[in-house]
Homo-oligomer: A and B are copies of this chain.
């Protein structure tokens, strides 16, 4: 939602929460427009990134890391597998679990330009000065912590 705000809410915490919410929505909507370039949606890209950097892991672990329910992650992994970016392997120690692992192609997609979707934002970020980038980095750290500690 736009910055115009006739009369701000009484509670500054609610005001800030509202703006964080809006900004997150608008950022993702803007980035969604880049999707067609690489063919990876936001949730898929995010999940692939975890698999690439956090090594092989079970579907449940991946779902927990991404804060999503298992059926949702099943569908994401199936899609990534269909794109050849990830493989399912059975866990030799526990027949119920699967090990999800990135393929060379999956690593390449992430490495090569960090995916178009992010490129658009990275370009905009590059135009900022060092102080502004530091501000965003600190805020992201803080917000990540806040999110994880939410009840």
Which residue numbers of A lie inside 8 Å of B, CB to CB?
A: 1-7, 9, 11-14, 16-31, 42-43, 45-47, 49-50, 53-55, 65-68, 114, 117-126, 128, 132-133, 135-140, 142-144, 146-147, 149-151
Contact = CB atoms under 8 A, between A and B. Distances in A.
B14 A122 contact: yes
A73 B149 CA distance: 34
Contacts of A143: 23, 27, 136
User: Chain A interface secondary structure, helix, strand, loop or mixed?
Assistant: helix
Given A46-B22, A53-B5, A67-B26, A150 B136 contact: no
Contacts of A149: 124
Contacts of A14: 114, 118-119, 122
